[in-house]
Amino acid sequence: MIQITLPDSAQIHGAPVRGAEIAARSGDANADTALAIRIDGVLRDLANLIEQDAHVEVEAEALRRTCSPESLPPVEGRSKDKEQLAEAAAG
């Protein structure tokens, strides 16, 4: 069993789970606009597979408003460059 601890709740999963699924199940108002997740403090792509217990935060609108191509934080597990990420964030 994998325990995902969110800021105000927890989820138990019987198998590895992707960040997008955690965001969708979080009940957080930002889940629909999620851009990334933080796993144990490290910014990761929503497609990242979580295979062990972790503390997770959903990153959404606040991240969208603060990102510019020059200031985007690195996102582990994503091969797109900063310009492509900025275009995706702009919607």
Domain that holds residue 15: 2-90
pTM for the complete prediction?
0.64
CA dihedral 60, 67, 17, 20 (to 10 degrees): 50
The CA distance from 20 to 25, in Å, is: 9
Q: Find the CATH number of the domain harbouring 7.
A: 3.10.20.30
Query: What one-letter code names the amino acid at 20?
Result: A
Q: Is the pLDDT of residue 35 over 80?
A: yes
**C-beta of residue 49 within 8 angstroms of C-beta of residue 57:** no
The CA distance from 2 to 74, in Å, is: 26
Higher pLDDT, 77 or 38: 38
Higher pLDDT, 25 or 74: 25
Split into its structural domains, the chain has a count of 1
